[in-house]
Structure 1
Amino acid sequence: AVLVTEASRFSGTLITAGFAADYGRDVCAVPGSILSGTSRSCHDLIREGATIAESIDDIPRIPRHIIYRKESSDTHSFSLHCNQTENEQNDLSKEEECILNLLAAAPRTLRAVSEHCHLDLRKTALSLTTLQAKGLVRLYRGLYVRS
């Protein structure tokens, strides 16, 4: 799949998205502000049939062995790392374990997970996103559920 997050009207990103579509790849686009020039191409792609990507669950066919890790605290670049074993993939923090145990019982909102696991909302959202990337949790109709 190709995910377009921002692109101006005459961006090389559109060429890439066009080639992806020509080769039968899924094209996803993140909608943005109607006032932003860098969102216009995403809106055009959506009008032309690209999948709207609002969360990781909206992006089709992401291999579940791929997780996203921030390279360092002073940069905004991310890279992909493939886990070698299932144990490494499921190497969970205590926060992630608490969340998975809670979600085993029933789907929950972000706020409910935060309150039950005694985490601030930012840390809860980060842990849930990590668990989504690992394929262990997904967002369904505003509730987090175990995959």
Structure 2
Amino acid sequence: MHHCPAELEARLRLHCLPELGPRRFQRLLQAFGSASSALSAPASAWRSLGLPATCAEPRRSAAIRERASAALRWLEQPHRQLLMWDDPTYPALLGELHDAPPLLFVAGDPAALERPQLAMVGSRRASRPGLDTARAFARSLAGGGFAITSGLALGIDGAAHEGALEAGGATVAVLGTGLECLYPQRHAGLAARIVEQGGALVSELPLDCPPQASNFPRRNRIISGLSVGVLVVEASPSSGSLITARLAAEQGREVYAIPGSIHHPGARGCHQLIREGATLVESVEDVLQALRGWQRTSPATEAPMVDEHPLLSQLRAAPLTSEGLALACGLSIGEVLAALSELEIAGRVACEAGFWVHRAP
């Protein structure tokens, strides 16, 4: 869906309003039909939808207009994109969430979001073995065709991004700040390399949003929501990584955890997840086997092997997005992404500019 400049500017203004989260944003669009109409509606109409006055009052202010204008200027620069929840280019798996971000700012290549993504998360104060494990798993999984998704934090997140880059693979960093307020600053160089090597930086927050503790759990739902599964490498029981893992389970994603020594505090969070039903992982093949099992949970995907997979017949006819393939084959987007990951590892398909294409064996 192509939005006219006035509607784009109106959505950016709505997006900057305080206390206007994803569900309230979508409520306004559903009630008024467009962001432009919502902005021009009387405050009483907003109150009738259950929105507080603090949402409605600043919508016509000069400060809100300037922040929207700054975002439009940002979008004029190369490798900058804004994905909206009702656009066909919006990540299909993320779009299934009831609180899907209405806007996603992307720096880098948005096609990275179209690939099957596997999230890797863990402690910011990880041990050296934990960092090495994260890097090695990310290197292997990225080499096998997955985009590695994490949060650009210190520790396991950074190691996962680094491993993916070492393999020449794609990696996606979801920020808990605006893209113009990169955090932590120590990872500014890593963020630049992610963009340079075909990955993407992603945030639902206004570009100028600074680090705020409450925004990081919100960020975690995007990490898990973009991914077919979440691998927790090392985490204490109080780690934010466990929030990501539990969100993933609620979203119907696979959760994997790497066990460790009973004497190491960083292993306790992973052990707790395994007790709660996460798949115990000792090798990359454990992850791939679990994904294949997840793919086969639907009768529609139970019988075909790689050579006769229904996705291949669709792609022989024409390149398609993952969402287009799901519609054409009558499968869920999760099943399609899991199948595509296996087909890509087998060399039968490739993702080019956001479209999946057939590759002859």
State TM-score, norm by structure 2. Answer: 0.25
Instruction: State the Cα distance separating 1:130 from its structure 2 match.
Output: 1.9
Indicate yes or no: 2:278 matched with 1:74: yes
Separation in structure 2 between the aligned mates of residue 113 and residue 124 of structure 1, nearest angstrom: 7
Residue correspondences, number:
114
Q: Work out whether residues 320 and 355 of structure 2, in 8 Å CA contact, stay in contact via their aligned partners in 1.
A: yes
Instruction: State the Cα distance separating 1:29 from its structure 2 match.
Output: 4.6
Q: Work out whether residues 310 and 329 of structure 2, in 8 Å CA contact, stay in contact via their aligned partners in 1.
A: yes
Separation in structure 2 between the aligned mates of residue 27 and residue 110 of structure 1, nearest angstrom: 19
- Letter of the aligned partner of 1:51 in structure 2? Q
Residue in structure 1 matching 2:172, options 17, 30, 37: 30
Separation in structure 1 between the aligned mates of residue 342 and residue 328 of structure 2, nearest angstrom: 18
The corresponding residue for 2:304 is 94
Instruction: State the Cα distance separating 1:98 from its structure 2 match.
Output: 0.4
Residue in structure 1 matching 2:343, options 124, 131, 134: 131
Instruction: State the Cα distance separating 1:47 from its structure 2 match.
Output: 2.1
Separation in structure 2 between the aligned mates of residue 53 and residue 78 of structure 1, nearest angstrom: 27
Sort the Cα spacing of 1:47 and 1:110 in 2 relative to 1 into closer, same or farther, 3 A: closer
The corresponding residue for 2:318 is 106
Structure with more of its chain in helix, by fraction: 2
Sort the Cα spacing of 1:129 and 1:76 in 2 relative to 1 into closer, same or farther, 3 A: farther
| Structure exhibiting the larger radius of gyration computed from Cα positions | 2
Separation in structure 1 between the aligned mates of residue 189 and residue 282 of structure 2, nearest angstrom: 26
Instruction: State the Cα distance separating 1:111 from its structure 2 match.
Output: 2.5
**Structure showing greater relative contact order (alpha-carbon pairs closer than 8 Å, 6 or more residues apart):** 1
- Partner SS state of residue 339, structure 2: helix
Q: Which runs of 5+ in 1 are unaligned?
A: 55-69, 82-91
Separation in structure 2 between the aligned mates of residue 27 and residue 137 of structure 1, nearest angstrom: 16
Sort the Cα spacing of 1:29 and 1:118 in 2 relative to 1 into closer, same or farther, 3 A: closer
Separation in structure 2 between the aligned mates of residue 51 and residue 125 of structure 1, nearest angstrom: 22
- Partner SS state of residue 94, structure 1: coil
Residue in structure 2 matching 1:46, options 167, 180, 191: 191
- Letter of the aligned partner of 1:134 in structure 2? A
User: Deviation digits for residues 81-114 of structure 1, max 9, x if unmatched?
Assistant: 4xxxxxxxxxx95285100111112111223211
- Letter of the aligned partner of 2:349 in structure 1? V
- Letter of the aligned partner of 1:132 in structure 2? E
Sort the Cα spacing of 1:46 and 1:119 in 2 relative to 1 into closer, same or farther, 3 A: same
Q: Work out whether residues 170 and 198 of structure 2, in 8 Å CA contact, stay in contact via their aligned partners in 1.
A: yes
Percent pairwise identity: 17
Separation in structure 2 between the aligned mates of residue 26 and residue 124 of structure 1, nearest angstrom: 24
Q: Work out whether residues 320 and 357 of structure 2, in 8 Å CA contact, stay in contact via their aligned partners in 1.
A: yes
Q: Work out whether residues 152 and 175 of structure 2, in 8 Å CA contact, stay in contact via their aligned partners in 1.
A: no
Q: Which runs of 5+ in 2 are unaligned?
A: 1-137, 143-147, 201-255, 258-273, 286-301
Instruction: State the Cα distance separating 1:116 from its structure 2 match.
Output: 2.1
Separation in structure 1 between the aligned mates of residue 316 and residue 282 of structure 2, nearest angstrom: 30
